[in-house]
């Protein structure tokens, strides 16, 4: 039997402890399957005295994760510290320079420094594996690196943030306001330490940056992603989407644009209510891949959590135990193409628009004209009376000119056209607030 594979794990939070448990519980099976034992040789964490639900009795303790990363007594440095700078980055760089393989769950680190780290890994002939960095337990990295390598990927998209999906699901199913459901997500421990990372779309964008590189063979380019969060989604949008046959999801989408660039975007998106992706609810994640040979695949599963994320980390360790050998971003760094951004104005698709329109003669006609002037064709228009205008409501039928809610669905158009139309509608003075616009993803 080959010599044991020795791990040094930095970061013993829920994922680190889950990994140690997984390796303990499945030791026999893994040893037989791999022909060698995997041992947790050394560990490092901020607080040594913290009780942890896993057996670390045989591991050497390091106060300094960087010293652990460079230790000659480990084969793989497992980075579970998190953060795109600071100890995580320093330790991963040190490990690679010292010739240690690296397994990490750190999406922010890879989104920011993935290409440079892959270069270091190449120079040292080391592995840099990160299955757990995207969509938790879903094996999407291996799917792209291995199973779909014979395909040209046209589009990759998915629900990449469990917190946002939890919030949008609860808002839809329980008609509860955004702030209240966010507080619940934080109580349940789903949200990042800074929840603006989740609700602002940045966590999903980190993951999309990694997926985009793997799918299209381009350099990782987090700053080239168009990012919008879910803060602006109201109960009115959730209800209108339902009535029109849609659900609202925060999607990360990357595709080959007709102009030849890569369109990469994270934003609230309407998806048909009866599509498979619409059924993905709560904290569950999913990733869909459109390949030219395989067609569309949809992988659904837990996007976070101790055991599921540990499962993904373990799969990278298992790959290395078997000999590894796949470059971090599939092709050698020198062959990664520059990321050429397709501007969001080029985006082509249908749109949902919600307007608060002053209820006066000619207002709708003016709105329709502004759309028509830019070649935007309307598929449906629904006008609802405001509450104060409902018969029997106090104030009778409401003051003439009080705003009514108008929801529109457009046929496919360009983002430039719809933005231009909405700017003109706003400046005409027929609406009482900024128009709401949500992209509809074709599937």
Residues that bind ligand HSE (CB under 6 A): 136, 161-163, 190-192, 198, 203, 303-304
User: What is the closest distance, in whole angstroms, from the C-beta atom of residue 314 to ligand HSE in the complex?
Assistant: 17
User: What is the closest distance, in whole angstroms, from the C-beta atom of residue 142 to ligand HSE in the complex?
Assistant: 18
Q: What single string gives the DSSP state of each residue in 244-301?
A: HTEEEEEEEEEEE-TTSSEEEEEEEEEEETTSTGGG--TTEEEEEEEETTTEEEEEEE
User: What is the closest distance, in whole angstroms, from the C-beta atom of residue 199 to ligand HSE in the complex?
Assistant: 10
3-state SS assignment for residue 443: coil
- Among 193, 198, 268, smallest CA distance to 232 is for 268
Is 249 among the residues known to form the active site?
no
Query: Of 42 and 312, which has the nearer Cβ to ligand HSE?
Result: 312
The answer to whether 408 touches 393, Cβ cutoff 8 Å, is: no
Which positions ≥6 away from 191 have C-beta within 8 Å?
163, 182, 185, 198, 199
Q: Which of 207, 273, 337, 360 is catalytic?
A: 207
Residue 33 phi, psi (nearest 5): -65, -40
Strands 128-129 and 101-104: parallel
Q: Which two tokens stand for residue 42?
A: 């050394």
Residue 127, beta-bridge partner list = none
What span, in angstroms and rounded, lies between the C-alpha atoms of 218 and 257? Answer: 14
| Strands, E assignment, 177-230 | 226-227
User: What is the closest distance, in whole angstroms, from the C-beta atom of residue 326 to ligand HSE in the complex?
Assistant: 23
Q: Locate tokens 């048909």: which residue?
A: 272
Which positions ≥6 away from 166 have C-beta within 8 Å?
181, 185, 188, 190, 282, 283
Query: Of 107 and 354, which has the nearer Cβ to ligand HSE?
Result: 107
Query: Of 209 and 376, which has the nearer Cβ to ligand HSE?
Result: 209
**Residues constituting the chain:** 443
3-state SS assignment for residue 43: strand
Query: Of 8 and 162, which has the nearer Cβ to ligand HSE?
Result: 162
User: What is the closest distance, in whole angstroms, from the C-beta atom of residue 266 to ligand HSE in the complex?
Assistant: 12
What span, in angstroms and rounded, lies between the C-alpha atoms of 113 and 347? Answer: 28
User: What is the closest distance, in whole angstroms, from the C-beta atom of residue 101 to ligand HSE in the complex?
Assistant: 23
User: What is the closest distance, in whole angstroms, from the C-beta atom of residue 203 to ligand HSE in the complex?
Assistant: 5
The gap from C-alpha 225 to its chain's centroid, in whole angstroms, comes to 12
3-state SS assignment for residue 365: helix
Query: Of 203 and 415, which has the nearer Cβ to ligand HSE?
Result: 203
Q: Could you tell me the sign of the dihedral formed by the alpha carbons of 193, 194, 199, 203, in that order?
A: negative
Residues marked active site are found at 207
């Amino acid at each position: 039997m080959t010599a044991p594979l020795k791990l040094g794990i930095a970061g013993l939070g829920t994922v680190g402890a889950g990994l140690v448990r997984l390796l303990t519980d499945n030791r026999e099976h893994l040893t037989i399957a791999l022909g060698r034992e995997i041992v947790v040789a050394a560990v490092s964490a901020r607080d040594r005295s913290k009780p942890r639900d896993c057996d670390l009795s045989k591991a050497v303790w390091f106060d300094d994760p960087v010293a652990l990363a460079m230790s000659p007594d480990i084969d793989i440095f497992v980075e579970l510290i998190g953060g795109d700078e600071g100890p995580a980055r320093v330790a991963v760089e040190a490990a690679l320079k010292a010739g240690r393989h690296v397994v990490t769950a750190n999406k922010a680190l890879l989104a920011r420094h993935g290409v440079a780290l892959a270069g270091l890994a190449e120079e040292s002939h080391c592995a840099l594996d990160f299955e757990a960095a995207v969509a938790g337990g879903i094996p999407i990295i291996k799917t792209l690196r291995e199973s779909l390598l014979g395909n040209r990927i046209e589009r990759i998209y998915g629900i990449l943030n469990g917190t946002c999906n939890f919030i949008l699901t609860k808002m839809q199913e329980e008609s509860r306001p955004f702030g209240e459901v966010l507080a619940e997500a934080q109580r349940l421990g789903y949200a990042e330490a800074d929840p603006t990372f989740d609700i602002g779309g940045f966590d999903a964008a980190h993951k999309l940056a990694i997926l985009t590189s793997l799918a299209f063979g381009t350099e990782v380019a987090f700053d080239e992603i168009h990012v919008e969060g879910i803060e602006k989604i109201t109960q009115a949008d959730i209800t209108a989407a339902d009535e029109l046959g849609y659900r609202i999801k925060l999607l990360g989408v990357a595709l080959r644009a007709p102009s030849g660039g890569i369109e990469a975007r994270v934003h609230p998106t309407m998806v048909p209510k009866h599509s498979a992706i619409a059924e993905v609810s709560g904290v569950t994640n999913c990733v869909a891949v459109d390949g030219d040979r395989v067609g569309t695949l949809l992988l659904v599963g837990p996007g976070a959590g101790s055991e599921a994320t540990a499962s993904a980390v373990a799969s990278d360790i298992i790959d290395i135990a078997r000999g590894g050998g796949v470059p971090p971003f599939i092709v050698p760094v020198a062959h990664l193409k520059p990321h050429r951004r397709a501007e969001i104005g080029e985006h082509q698709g249908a749109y949902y628009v919600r307007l608060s329109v002053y209820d006066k003669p000619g207002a709708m006609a003016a709105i329709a004209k502004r759309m028509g002037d830019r070649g935007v064709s309307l598929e449906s228009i629904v006008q609802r009376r405001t509450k104060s205008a409902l018969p029997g409501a106090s104030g009778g039928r409401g003051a003439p000119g009080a705003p009514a809610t108008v929801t529109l669905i457009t046929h496919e158009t360009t983002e430039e056209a719809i933005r231009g139309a909405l700017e003109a509608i706003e400046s005409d003075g027929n609406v009482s607030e900024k128009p709401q616009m949500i992209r509809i993803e074709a599937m």
